[in-house]
Amino acid sequence: MEPDLHELLRSLRVWDPAVTSLPPLAPDTAPAAPLPLFARWLAQAAEAGQAEPHTMSLATADAEGRPDVRIVMLHGADDEGWSFATHAHSRKGGQLAGRPYAALAFYWPVLGRQVRVRGPVGAASREEAQADLHARSTGALAAALTGRQSAVLGSTEELARASEEAWERARREPAAPAPSWTLYRLRPDEVEFFQGDARRRHVRLRYRRAPEGWARELLWP
């Protein structure tokens, strides 16, 4: 018997005090740039036991402007931007080629926190992309070598055969190239930090890129 979706949704809690703490965010003491605060929040989410705190939603748009979103892994964040990787021929790779602008969202419910990032996206050099890939696990390389991401799949057996061949090659050639594997960097125009509050007095601190550094402002929740 299928569950009653509406009853299920009404039964679920957000920020259950048994598993969630809501630390304060003091905007006046926030750093002048968003990256140090992001690094601090990511570390605190990991320390608080948040599962996979380095995963994020990546939103892009197709040629008609229709939005698309999926979960990907953050590969790095520095002054050049927030990094993630995929095949250039994947759906998101094609969308970024046509509309090189994207948005990211991190959600860490154990602390009632979100971080939203958006801005233009560019591709790193091929050498950087391959170095990033080869610094990862054998499984990551095997997945990249399997290729054909977002193409129509004929059967699960076809995937199993291709995957097994890719795993064998990844073990045999740990530096095997995956030519279509691309490292992308999103250079943020704005970064928003959201801190939940038990009385719904949520703090939203937005950084906007300005000619000389970053402008900071508070937003109504």
Residues marked as catalytic = 200
CA distances to 33, 81, 109, 119, 135 from 206, rounded to whole Å, are 10, 17, 19, 14, 33
Tokens of 77: 């964040």
- Residues 94 and 75: beta-carbon distance below 8 Å: no
CB atoms within 10 A of CB 66: 9
Tokens of 17: 């005090």
- Residues 88 and 97: beta-carbon distance below 8 Å: yes
107: nearest Cα among 78, 80, 74: 74
Q: What residues are paired with 55 via a beta bridge?
A: 73
HSE-up of 110 (CA within 13 Å, CB side)? Answer: 14
User: Rounded to 5 degrees, what are φ and ψ at 72?
Assistant: -135, 175
The beta-strand segments (E) located in the chain are 55-61, 67-73, 76-78, 81-87, 101-108, 113-123, 181-186, 190-195, 203-210, 213-219
